[in-house]
Chain A
């Protein structure tokens, strides 16, 4: 992992198959150590953006330049919790791409997986079944997996959804450490208030509504354009809270 991870996206449009773009006009850049909150309603293009950045979707227009390995940290309920995999097994999945099909995962990568679990405070649960862990613990294991991938850019899909306060604090601490190491974090979230705490915000609603520092970007006009009727304004217009959604198919 380098301290020079950087992501630059210009005029990006992405589509599923041959259909019309479901996301367009995305232009932003994030430097090493920056965390970008990605805000938007369900179907607004947050997951589409992640899939385009991972190279899974055809980019119809624009460019994506990422000069580091990119890891996706999914929501934990998306995985099969009844699967016979331990926390360590899940962390080791981060080394699968670089392991030949006829080889065992090498000792060096096993050591890396142990170290990653240690970093996220999950080493004592390494041999527990992944599905038996709490939502917050599972989230930490998935972050450990991204560390085993040696990712300079982490795409986190609602890392705080369904997580208790203690785990939220722990995850927040881990993400701060990752930023301090020069990694770039993109954090899809519905929590507008929390987004104010990150370095940048990217607002999406089928297209890019705004990008910039939270203090100047998260205006009422931008939030209304992002969320439309889904937004609820509180506290005389200074604070806004998005109505929470936990399922989003796109």
Chain B
């Protein structure tokens, strides 16, 4: 009898939170963003754009701070700030004097500093800053959900249509052009989708934790599998599992959901790293 009660308790632990409408919305958002983040994350990781994606996320912070007081829709303000960051980065690295990662670090620090000065001294946003930096899956509006759905759909369509272009371009850019692949167009579309997905995940995980959905699941999947199809599938599955697990933990332990998902993702990566370094896997690889 006792085991049945234990099982029921576990089931209740899993299902009780979902009786609340705000948790249902959060779950829907988490699953939609997992599709977008899981798919695009694979391309972000393969193309070594993880730091860039993190920086674009951070760069949206000043945009988010001014959006409320100025009466601008937060996604638009975030997008404008992210595009401004990309433009400045391109300008700074144009003559080759500053390397791309140094310029990215510089602008990332500048954006966070600007946002924090605007928040504390100009607009006195106070408590809202936490939410802008770390998000909250528990207070999403209809607009956030629609944006998540649109970006998930766009990521799925783009992955189906552009996988070959992105694969060949990332594999060897110079040879890709000679293969007749439209590398430049594919790259622009990838960067545009990256910007859109950053904006879509902001309300859920905030400006500082976009990597939670856009990098960690894909980087973890990369440790576990070698083919593109399974990489994409594993990345989406991991993103979904980690965000649902993080959401449940956040409900039961009263943690902020964004950081809870990030912690679950980090633990998942550590487990995958341990599993992929295990002796039996090394032997299997050597034989293969």
What residues of chain A have their CB less than 8 Å away from a CB belonging to chain B?
54, 56, 71-72, 74, 78-80, 83-86, 89-90, 93-94, 96-99, 101-102, 105, 129, 145, 149
Give Cα distance in the complex from A90 to B175, angstroms: 11
Q: Which 6 interchain pairs have the tightest Cβ spacing?
A: A97-B180, A72-B178, A79-B172, A74-B175, A84-B228, A101-B161
What residues of chain B have their CB less than 8 Å away from a CB belonging to chain A?
46, 160-162, 164-165, 167-168, 170-172, 174-175, 177-181, 225-228, 231
Asked, given contacts A83-B167, A86-B227, A129-B226, whether A96 binds B174 with beta carbons under 8 Å apart, the answer is no
Asked, given contacts A96-B164, A99-B164, whether A83 binds B170 with beta carbons under 8 Å apart, the answer is yes
A102 nearest CB neighbor, chain B only? B161
Asked, given contacts A83-B167, A84-B231, whether A74 binds B180 with beta carbons under 8 Å apart, the answer is no
Cross-chain contact of A101 among B162, B175, B177 (Cβ < 8 A): B162
11 more contacts with CB within 8 A, not counting A56-B178, A72-B175, A94-B179, are A79-B172, A79-B175, A85-B171, A89-B228, A93-B168, A93-B171, A93-B179, A96-B181, A97-B181, A101-B164, A145-B179
B162 nearest CB neighbor, chain A only? A101
Residues of chain A with a CB closer than 8 A to B225's CB: 84
Give Cα distance in the complex from A86 to B179, angstroms: 17
Residues of chain A with a CB closer than 8 A to B178's CB: 54, 56, 71-72
Instruction: Report whether B226 and A84 are in contact in the complex, using a CB–CB cutoff of 8 Å.
Output: yes
Give Cα distance in the complex from A149 to B178, angstroms: 10
Residues of chain A with a CB closer than 8 A to B160's CB: 102
Instruction: Report whether A80 and B164 are in contact in the complex, using a CB–CB cutoff of 8 Å.
Output: no
Residues of chain B with a CB closer than 8 A to A56's CB: 177-178
How near does chain A come to B208, taking the closest CB pair, in angstroms? 28
Instruction: Report whether A74 and B174 are in contact in the complex, using a CB–CB cutoff of 8 Å.
Output: yes
Residues of chain A with a CB closer than 8 A to B170's CB: 80, 83
Give Cα distance in the complex from A86 to B228, angstroms: 10
Give Cα distance in the complex from A56 to B162, angstroms: 22
